[in-house]
Chains A and B, each alone.
Chain A
Amino acid sequence: MRYIPNSPEEREEMLAAIGLASAGELFRSIPQDLQLKRSLDITEALAEPEVIALMEKLAAKNTAAVKPSFLGAGVYSHFSPTIVDHLIQRSEFFTSYTPYQPEISQGTLQYIFEFQTLICQLTGMEVANASMYDGSTAMAEAYLMAQRVTRRDKIVVAETVHPEYREVAKTYTQHGDLKIETASFDEETGRISNLSALDDNTAALVVQSPNFFGCVEDLKALSEKAHAVGALLVVVVTEAISFGLLKSPGECGADIVVGEGQSFGIPMSFGGPHVGLFATREKFVRNMPGRLCGVAYDKNGNRGFVLTLSTREQHIRREKATSNICTNQGLIALAATIYMETMGKKGLQEVAMQNAQKAAYAAKKIASIEGFELPFSAPKFNEFVVRSSNLAEEVLAKLREKKGIIGGLALSRYYPDRPNEFLVCVTETMKKDQIDDLIQSLSVLG
């Protein structure tokens, strides 16, 4: 086996050196009747070219990966500068462990510190952690943190928060004493509307903006309503590119901002690995989940970075920890950091603007096709809902079969009572021709 340095002969010598006659004797502490007496029923070892061929064959069956696609809904196709994937493949980054030994992990620690800073700048918050698994688990952790901070037991969550995020949060909280109520949205605007569940037992109002339908929420008004009853405002952002254009949640009064950072140069990769963002106010820092990196100095006054405030964490507090999370999404957070820094101030603004412009172009044209309309009036970023006079599933299937276009996501997957609507996402990666193709195809097939 080429990944094992010691040759069979060397291994024989080592066995002899420790007084054993065979490799089998290494396992004497495992009772005989528990030892597997046969080979695992797994393929024979494959050579490198065979593995590549097999994987390429599997990948080729993913025909959706090469088609023009208007899918968004929490995972977005964006351009990633070449250096992002190049730099994260440096051995020193991808084959290192969690930075437990700061003297030989300053590379990792420094980029985490930069990541935390950038997330603070974009979200308008005061502290951000080293990242969570993804947006959905970050939101679940925000529920639990809001409960700890307020000592209240109710979460009011907008129906326009990503349905899979809400499912994950439900799983995380099902055995605690949190009660979750859902706030419905306005059929006219597509924004959260019914806040009647908000009361003085509410730990947090949880909203997504842009929401699952692509509508930008009025966060300022929502924060005032949440704060009026002493609840926190938790803002969920699934499309991180929107930070480049939209007023930051922090400036609007958010207390916790969670989100998905996949848009920052991370491949869609069938849903993971991505990277969860988690930011909050400084006064809540000791209630945060996850790893935090901070500045420290050595005895000569050299600046360095360490993992800090770890008394919140499971390895010290065990069952009383703020979360069971052990580590962060290290390498993906690094990719996001490189993306944000490469794009820089101007790039993050320009890419956000291009998304908004291209989506607006597509939306306007689709709305003018007979049989299609845009049901929600609120301002949008790069996604919008289209209502068809036919079943959305059928419209999308026709687009795919006849035109080779993946036109978006039928809302019925998550909202069964909305069979005629689909969600369209247009990012900077879609060329005008491709958008025009979609429009043309819809007008012919729709």
Chain B
Amino acid sequence: MSIKKVTQHPSQNEALIFERSQAGRIGYRLPKLDVVETNIDELLPAELRRDDDLDGVPEVSEVDVVRHFTRISTWNYSIDLGMYPLGSCTMKYNSRLNEKVARIAGFANLHPLAPEEESQGALELIYELQQDLAEITGLPGVSLQPAAGAQGEMTGVMLIRAFLDRRDGDASKDRRVMLIPDSAHGTNPASAALAGFSVKTIRSTAEGLTDMEHLKQVCDEGGVAGLMLTNPNTVGIFETNIKEICATIHASGGLVYMDGANMNALVGIARPGDMGVDVIHLNLHKTFSTPHGGGGPGCGPCLCTSALEPFLPVPRVIKAETPVGSVFSESSSSQSHFRLDFDRPESIGRVKAFYGNFGMMIRALSYIYTHGADGLKEATEAAVLNARYLSHLLQDDFDKPYAADPMHEVVFSHKKQSRKGVHTLDIAKRLIDYGFHPMTIYFPLVVEGAMLIEPTESVGRQDLDAFVEAMKDIDKEAQENPQLVIDAPHSTRIGRLDEASAARKPVLRWKPDQEVSAITA
């Protein structure tokens, strides 16, 4: 099968903006300064002012900017183009409605330090989302402050640390071991380290579950502060022993943190709080569809039991018992009043300036309202069904390391193709030629040549079938004409990039005198 290279077009060779810059071009216009001008030397002495004329900053027209970004945008794959089956990333549809409501002026133009009385809508929105997420997880303590999943994790393990320090006093220093399964996200150990924990790795069984014997053995060794567990785990399997796992950790005096990256398999079906989990983070940019935006912004709420609640970051957003009137207005409204509560002496402190990524909270609440309770459950069912369907249709052609039924994502290995010299990376690159974004590859580390596929609920049957067909075709190519797969992709603007050289001699910025413009195509 040969695929023709796309035709040359200006959009294929869009230069860096610095290379397009032409002295004298202008892309903006501000209103004229309308106040009396002060001599600049009076305002700021010359030694405090720039004298480099912002050397290198581009000069381009508005049209140049629009074309530049429109052109380079076409080099990206995106959810709106099609299935984006990155395992553990939950690339579901990002609704335009959510974008629209997040841009309402009353939200977008609100300053975080505006008086509480004049920010009631924002505080109420935060409060409502807190309530809904608490209901979804079964965990009553909520902070929406963490900016992303990794920060939610850090917050979560810091809550555990604060709880233990409080409960055990000085003896807490003998309890600094955080248990993390070998299949965990890399952020888990990195976050545990920030809370002052050392990491012990818990093995997975051949069935893809936490090794209970190993867990008990490590707990018996003592010093266990807690466990960081993803559930469903990173191979897409529900940890059936979750209650026993939590009981084991609790019996040894530790707490259980659940990485909520995979909540899209559980919403409306089962709640971490009911399983014995003490603290969890959610990714609003996964389960609740706020856009990934090419790598952010995210929002990583942290939820916990009431025992851990006193330690949550400040400020908390609370509903006031009695309306708080302002100093000068005697009219107190009868509506509920929402407040920022800073008075939490046991709090771990702030993890981010202000109150978190509020814009993402608006989108997530809009998602929840649009779905309602039934729609949330329906989305979970559809997501798991899609993954199960793929699993079923691909398991004859690709090695499926775990027999258990997957939840919202399924992992395969490259074992059946690697005999022909075709590895996971090659299969991923070849999928691009078939018009799909590849799955997550080489994660989790416990599976050799892992291909982790998460279709989400946002994919229809025809697309799933087309994906299955593409995968089967690639398998056939791997068996019959492996070089075709190894040389993939054949259809993109650029081929595989030499990442090793890039890391050896890193060029991390444009400079006028530097040779980085070798466009030869």
Contacts and interface: CB of A to CB of B under 8 A. Distances in A.
Interface string B175-203: 00000000001110111111110110000
Interface in B260-275: 268-271, 274-275
Contacts of B519: 302-303
Given A3-B92, A175-B161, A330-B297, 5 more contacts: A42-B135, A83-B62, A97-B84, A135-B353, A270-B119
B169 interface: no
B394 to A, nearest CB: 12
Nearest to B487: A299
A11 B385 contact: yes
Given A52-B101, A96-B76, A4 B379 contact: yes
B60 A344 contact: yes
Given A3-B458, A34-B270, A36-B271, A107 B75 contact: yes
A244 interface: yes
B506 A285 contact: yes
Interface stretch (A13-21, A150-158, A180-188, A227-235): A13-21
Given A101-B77, A110-B72, A297-B497, A65 B356 contact: no
Contact of A127 (B186, B355, B509, B510): B509
Interface stretch (B144-152, B248-256, B413-421): B144-152
B112 interface: yes
Contact of A271 (B37, B355, B407, B429): B355
Contact of B190 (A50, A305, A318): A318
B45 interface: yes
B501 A296 contact: yes
Interface of B is mostly: loop
B16 interface: yes
A443 to B, nearest CB: 17
Given A87-B69, A246-B50, A323-B190, A101 B372 contact: no
A175 B194 contact: yes
Interface stretch (B20-28, B215-223, B473-481): B20-28
Given A42-B373, A87-B70, A34 B60 contact: no
Contacts of A379: 43-45, 48
Contact of B47 (A36, A56, A247, A311): A247
A245 B73 contact: no
A327 B151 CA distance: 11
B261 to A, nearest CB: 10
A18 B394 CA distance: 12
A1 to B, nearest CB: 4
A117 interface: yes
B112 A298 contact: no
Given A95-B78, A271-B353, A298 B494 contact: yes
A57 B147 CA distance: 26
Pick the 10 closest A-B CB pairs, nearest first. Answer: A271-B354, A59-B106, A331-B293, A45-B372, A175-B196, A271-B112, A5-B460, A61-B121, A330-B295, A273-B297
A65 B109 contact: yes
Contact of B373 (A41, A52, A299, A305): A41
Interface string A293-337: 111111111111110111101111111110111111111111000
B493 A106 contact: yes
Contact of A273 (B107, B147, B366, B407): B147
Contacts of A162: 353
Among B89, B350, B385, max chain A CB count under 10 A is at B350
B313 interface: yes
B35 A344 contact: no
Contacts of A323: 190
Contacts of B27: 81, 341-344, 347
Given A30-B269, A246-B49, A285-B506, A332 B296 contact: yes
B268 A36 contact: yes
Interface string B158-180: 10010000000000000000000
